[in-house]
A and B are shown apart, each in its own frame.
Chain A
Amino acid sequence: ELKVEQNPLFLSMQEGKNYTIYCNYSTTSDRLYWYRQDPGKSLESLFVLLSNGAVKQEGRLMASLDTKARLSTLHITAAVHDLSATYFCAVISTGNQFYFGTGTSLTVIP
Chain B
Amino acid sequence: ETGVTQSPTHLIKTRGQQVTLRCSSQSGHNTVSWYQQALGQGPQFIFQYYREEENGRGNFPPRFSGLQFPNYSSELNVNALELDDSALYLCASSSTGPETQYFGPGTRLLVL
A residues with CB within 8 A of B: 1, 4, 31, 33, 35, 41-45, 48, 50, 88, 90, 92, 95-103
Contact = CB atoms under 8 A, between A and B. Distances in A.
Interface residues of B, number: 24
A96 B41 CA distance: 21
Contacts of B99: 48
Given A96-B55, A97-B45, A33 B100 contact: yes
Given A35-B103, A43-B43, A43-B103, 19 more contacts: A1-B59, A4-B42, A33-B100, A42-B104, A43-B90, A45-B100, A45-B101, A45-B102, A48-B98, A48-B100, A50-B98, A95-B57, A97-B56, A97-B57, A98-B35, A100-B42, A100-B43, A100-B45, A103-B42
B100 A99 contact: no
Given A50-B98, A97-B56, A98-B33, A42 B45 contact: no
A32 to B, nearest CB: 10
Contacts of A50: 98
B43 A88 contact: yes
A35 to B, nearest CB: 8
A42 B98 CA distance: 20
B5 to A, nearest CB: 11
A92 B103 CA distance: 16
Contacts of B48: 96, 98
A33 B35 CA distance: 15
Residue of B33, B35, B43, B58 ringed by the most chain A CB atoms within 10 A = B43
Contacts of A42: 90, 103-106
B44 interface: yes
A101 B59 CA distance: 16
Contacts of A90: 42-43
Contact of A41 (B92, B101, B102, B105): B105
